[in-house]
Structure 1
Amino acid sequence: MLDREDRIIFGSLLLLVLALSGSLVVDRQFGLGIQDWPLLSYLLFAGVAVALPQLYLAVTDGERSRNGDRSRSRLRFAAVATAAFAIAFAADAEGLAHLVIGLIGSGSLVALVCYEVLTDYRAESDESVTRVS
């Protein structure tokens, strides 16, 4: 039996397969392949297949267990995977799509650094308040 985490990740991969199947149908009918749209391909692979399930699990796991370490690991994985996919997909893109993919990838890393700094700052300030009390 699959647990909740596996069902969510499997569901996102199933959604990716359905989207790719739909793109094949569109490619055969109209001649518009997903490989012709690198930004859409990037959002589909990096967003739907990798980042979206991890971000969803980070938010819902944080509400359920209050275990911040697991949520932080999921956020780290989503940010780094998004940046790695950006490097791969930006190589095939041209013009504005190249710029947008690069901005999304680098923005995910900047957001991760800001999140880590803010989380550590809050932990430090909570610790100092506990010592004073």
Structure 2
Amino acid sequence: MTAKKPVPMRRSLRRRLRLEISSIDHLSPEAVTAFVDGEMSEAAQHRVRVHIVHCPQCREEVHTQRSAAEIVRGSNVEEGVRAPRGLVERLAQIALDPEAQQARNQPLHSPVDQAREGLENGMRSLFRRG
């Protein structure tokens, strides 16, 4: 019988880390819409851009949302369609609601998520280099 050759620690560690790194959170539909509509802070927009570089599923969601927004914008030019006054007033009230303002100021990800994302990006760059 021949003894199995031990797997180098670096290779098994790399494999384990790849499995952990591949499990990422996805953007919520609300975050995708806010990003496409330009309703996020610069910092939040930056986090979304970094995320969609690494996440094809969220990148596709952003693309789909942008396409839908373009269709809606283009379809309303000639018809003169207007939202009912009551709807516009209710939406304006939502925008002024203190809870809504607080939610807009919340980070897209918690500090723990941000730290994990930074660690994952660092590990990815290490493994790309060899």
Which has more radius of gyration? 2
TM-score range, shorter chain: under 0.3
Normalised to the residue count of structure 1, the TM-score between the two structures is: 0.27
- Larger helix share, 1 or 2: 1
Q: Which has the higher contact order (CA 8 A, sep 6+)?
A: 2
Normalised to the residue count of structure 2, the TM-score between the two structures is: 0.28
